[in-house]
Structure 1
Amino acid sequence: MDWNDRFAASGPGEPGPPSVLVGREDLVPTTGRALDVACGRGTVAVWLAQRGLVVDALDAAPAGLALGRAAADAAAVTVHWIEADLDEGLPVTGGYDVVVCQRFRDPALYPALAGVLAPGGLLVVTVLSVVGDAGGRFRAEPGELRGAFADLDVLVDEEGGGEAHLVARLD
């Protein structure tokens, strides 16, 4: 099943923060620019827009972007939706106050994620992990996120249950 089929079968989602930010929503500013990388159905992108951020959201799957557009329309917020293949790199330039990347892992993209942060910007990354789960080519090794973003001020670093979460700020 490809991502378009998966999104078409899943239907729209409810806007909300990334799971690592539940209870930590105060870390996210209410003004500025946000980027949601591999946004899927756009639930995080719409939540960011509801907070008052100007949001760019990108994904390779048109079906996911269509669900995101419908969710943004229903919430009466504006999100700039970008269809992009991340294998070709990050198709945006810097100055983002928040960058979110949920459940898309490409270590080659890690420098670009940090590189588009504005000073003081917040990075929120969740990937599948071998910690607490079976291995696999799409799963991060222990400490991968902390090592990849060692130049940032790490606020949250959690691994377990097959996921790794990192929240960090560019000083």
Structure 2
Amino acid sequence: MAVTDRERWDARHAVAGAGQPAPPDALRGREDLLPAGGRALDVACGRGSVAVWLAARGFVVDAVDVSPVALAAGAALAAAQDVEVAWHVADLDAGLPAACTGPYDLVVCQRFRDPRLYPAFARLLAEGGLLVLTVLSEVDDEPGPFRAGPGELAAAFPGLDVLTHEERDGAATLLARRREVTPGAVPGSPPAPPAPS
């Protein structure tokens, strides 16, 4: 990302009002899908409303964004809520920071799209881990370089079990889970048939 892009995001976050903890958009009304706890990664976290919401639910959270101004706002929100989040300044055009190694029980990314990161999102998920994505979409909207084409999210994660996938009104969401490997099973193989009764 060019320095001018970082400056643009810093300027935008500098004038934004105080945020409030909130679940990821794709999880609203589906909070029962949230893992019971563990480690979480919030990619392109902005002002940290999702990261702080997750930390308040007991997750150990790594939150990544290009804007130091946004992360400072997130740190202030976390302090006000008396929770801890590990904040990482990173240009996502260069990939995820080395400190974010996983495995994570939850990976969240909303309002940021870079298909080059999709394999890393899947790779960083723990067994049974949940991926929550929301991106701009061409569906019911105009095409553009920051918008996913029809079916992009569903096709990008063939190794995960898709729980929900929606595309409408210029947005696409995906909730998908990494399969848990049965002891003794070969990863990637189909599940064993049930025992006869």
TM range (shorter): over 0.9
Residue in 2 that maps onto 1:128: 136
Which is further off, 103-112 or 84-93?
84-93
1:151: which partner in 2? 159
Counterpart of 1:26 in structure 2 is 32
Give the root-mean-square deviation of aligned CA atoms: 1.0
CA contact (8 A) 1:94 1:116 kept: yes
| Structure 1, unpaired ranges of 5+ | none
Q: Distance in 1 between matches of 2:148 and 2:117?
A: 14
Note the 1:48-59 alignment, pairs <5 A.
48-59=54-65
Offset of residue 11 of structure 1: 2.4
2:15 counterpart of 1:12: no
Alignment partner of 1:83 is 2:114:
no
Moved over 2 A (4+): none
Cα distance, 1:30 vs. partner? 3.2
| SS of structure 2 residue aligned to 1:10 | coil
Distance 2:76 2:164 in 1: 32
Give the total of aligned pairs: 171
Q: Which is higher, the Rg of structure 1 or of structure 2?
A: 2
142, 150, 162: which one aligns with 1:142:
150
Report the Cα distance in structure 1 between the residues aligned to 2:54 and 2:36, rounded to whole angstroms.
8
Deviation at 1:108, TM superposition (A): 0.7
Match of 2:118 in 1: 110
What is aligned with 1:62?
A: 68
Give the secondary-structure state (helix, strand or coil) at the position aligned to 2:15.
helix
* Structure 2 unmatched runs, 5+: 1-6, 180-197
SS in 2 for 1:2: helix
Percent of aligned pairs with the same residue? Answer: 63
In structure 2, what is the Cα distance between the partners aligned to 1:79 and 1:121? 19
**Does the CA contact (< 8 Å) of 1:11 and 1:67 recur in 2?**
no
Deviation at 1:20, TM superposition (A): 1.2
TM-score normalised over the length of structure 1:
0.97
Q: Which residue of the partner structure matches residue 36 of structure 1?
A: 42
Distance 2:54 2:113 in 1: 21
Contact 2:55 2:85 in 1 (8 A): yes
